Chain A
Amino acid sequence: MTAQALWTAFCTIVLREVRRFTRIWPQTLLPPAVTMTLYFIIFGNLIGARIGEMGGYDYMQFIVPGLIMMAVITNSYANVVSSFFSMKFQRSIEELLVSPVPNWTILLGYVVGGMARGLSIGLLVTLLSLAFTQLSIYNLPMVVITVILTSALFSLGGFINAMLATKFDDISIVPTFVLTPLTYLGGVFYSIDMLPAFWQGASMINPILYMVNGFRFGILGVSDVNPFVSLGMIMIFIVLLAAVALRMLARGKGIRH
């Protein structure tokens, strides 16, 4: 395919994904907006007022970056895993498999589609947070790079999950039993300085901790970990997961007989 044809094919996949999640907005855009508003009211306003400061900021300001990141992570992942698996389930993935689109374009299209939803919801949650607190950006490039790379990483994770899944139960196992606990324990609601030494060490093996803190550093200028280590880790994971996803596509894992 020519570069122009590849670009058209890539845009077709991305637009198809955007059309999908905007068509079903009550399932995709509305729930995170409602959930995050409740977090802001209950944890930020009601409980946060009694907690006081954390990391030099009031509690509401402290949790906002973590909650934005949580929304980006879960929605990037959910978009790709549900879209790609439902294509497998309905066999409409065959439309792509019979076409001349190369595997890397298919992967990139789905990842960017997942990022489109993750980042849209991240922006929506950020706008909602402004109704509850003031946000000043400490380091804009860090904010932008961290959120884009994190969204790409979890879109890749969703893609691999969808390739491996054979039934609908399989696409909810990772979000429920892996992503949610890691996100809650990844310093969204607290600083790991508050934990005993053992749990501080244990927290350091949670990759989501690095993403939340990298993003928090960009917004507030405070972080439990070195923000550049965060970026480095995210990039290494992206390369690894992209390699795994491309290998699975080449072998036709779960999509070719």
Chain B
Amino acid sequence: MGQISASMNGWVMTYALEIEGLVKSYGDGFQALKGIDLKVREGDFFALLGPNGAGKSTTLGIVSSLVNKTGGTVRVFGHDIDTALSRAKVNLGVVPQEFNFNQFEKVIDIVTTQAGYYGIPLKKARISAEKYLKKLGMWDKRDTPSRMLSGGMKRRLMIARALVHEPRLLILDEPTAGVDIELRRSMWQFLEEMNRQGTTIILTTHYLEEAEALCRNIAIIDHGEIIRHTSKRELLQQLSVETFVLDTEQPLERAPELSGFHCALNDDGALEAEVTKGQGLNALFIELENHGIKVMSMRTKANRLEELFVRMVEDNARVDAKTSEVKA
């Protein structure tokens, strides 16, 4: 069965989510998902990345029963959503991208009502609601109508609501969109704590820094297809070039010609140097020293995952374009 999907030398691998051949087509013929396969292990912190319209939200929508699938299978902790939907849903907590609670209800009512939908009696629901609202710093807002909350608080309310029935798998679709940096960091800490306590977490995000900081495994989806599905470590090892931005003591009129390094000046006049895998930063600094350039500070141009993500999506687009040309 799905829950015990692999067994080697007595070691049993449990999957929180298994997706096989998932297809979603619309009436106009558009295929949002073209038969994707995805497996997320129990206890994992997993990121599903992709550009807008790639199929991330559609995938998560099917898993959480908000979107009807056209084909394929989905299992949550071994429970097939076609044959054991109720048991699959009990294991699942969902934090959607858009605010989707009643704007006129109080915070505490929204959370306890959600618990009631899972068959949790009101007394227990209040205890669970208090636990998560306190953890998320919302307890003093429990009697506030939800429409009066700030954007960040609304996001935290949706997280508390998704956790009130203690799901084993938490799905978050862009959980920190529009949230300031301080609050985003506190939400990361909260999610890491949930994950340490055993909750499997799947998130989609546009902040690749978020995926790099939190997740152990990553899938990249583009045009309804999974183009990579691997561990973050393996993915980052593929990053062959990293760009560093160097602020120099004296302004440079033009980029120096460093042996083995490609350099350019950016719009702010800072020096950008590309360092390929294996070159090392010492070699770069020796070259800069030889050219009499003193570096005052240094930073990476973009986070490593972001660079890799952009390259992969661009490569995929080039492959698509070539395929179209051949077909034409």
Contact = CB atoms under 8 A, between A and B. Distances in A.
Nearest to A4: B119
A94 B60 CA distance: 13
A13 B116 CA distance: 8
Contacts of B96: 91, 94
B68 A98 contact: no
B67 interface: yes
Interface string B100-130: 1111100001100110111111000000000
Contacts of B98: 91
B66 A95 contact: no
A95 B161 contact: yes
A6 interface: yes
A166 interface: no
Contacts of B85: 100
Given A2-B119, A6-B119, A98 B113 contact: no
A176 interface: no
Interface stretch (B86-94, B200-208, B253-261): B86-94
Contacts of B90: 100
Given A98-B64, A98-B89, A256-B66, A8 B100 contact: no
Which one of B85, B94, B161 has the greatest number of beta carbons of chain A within 10 Å?
B94
B101 A11 contact: no
A257 B66 contact: yes
Which one of A8, A102, A256 has the greatest number of beta carbons of chain B within 10 Å?
A8
Contact of B116 (A8, A102, A252): A8
A98 B173 CA distance: 14
B65 interface: yes
A23 B145 CA distance: 12
A42 interface: no
A19 interface: yes
A12 B116 contact: yes
A145 B36 CA distance: 54
B68 A252 contact: yes
A19 B99 CA distance: 22
B100 A90 contact: yes
Interface string B65-78: 11110000000000
A99 B115 CA distance: 9
Interface string A12-25: 11001001000100
Contacts of B99: 91
A108 interface: no
Interface string B161-190: 100000000000000000000000000000
B102 A98 contact: no
B151 interface: no
Nearest to A102: B86
Contact of B119 (A9, A19, A252, A256): A9
A25 to B, nearest CB: 14
Given A94-B100, A95-B101, A100-B85, A8 B64 contact: no
B269 interface: no
Nearest to B96: A94
B109 A19 contact: yes
Contacts of B86: 1, 100, 102
Nearest to B89: A100
Given A91-B100, A92-B102, A95-B114, A1 B119 contact: yes
A54 interface: no
Contacts of B65: 97-98, 256
Contacts of B61: 257
Given A90-B100, A90-B103, A257-B61, A99 B118 contact: yes
Nearest to A251: B68
Contacts of A6: 119
Contacts of A243: none
A87 B102 contact: yes
Contacts of B117: 9, 12-13, 95-96, 99-101
A239 interface: no
B88 to A, nearest CB: 8
A23 to B, nearest CB: 8
17 contacts: A4-B119, A8-B121, A9-B117, A9-B118, A13-B116, A16-B109, A91-B96, A94-B94, A94-B96, A95-B113, A95-B114, A98-B94, A99-B117, A99-B118, A100-B85, A100-B90, A252-B68
Top 3 nearest A-B pairs by Cβ distance? Answer: A5-B119, A12-B116, A99-B117
Interface of A: 1-2, 4-6, 8-9, 11-13, 16, 19, 23, 86-87, 90-92, 94-102, 252, 256-257
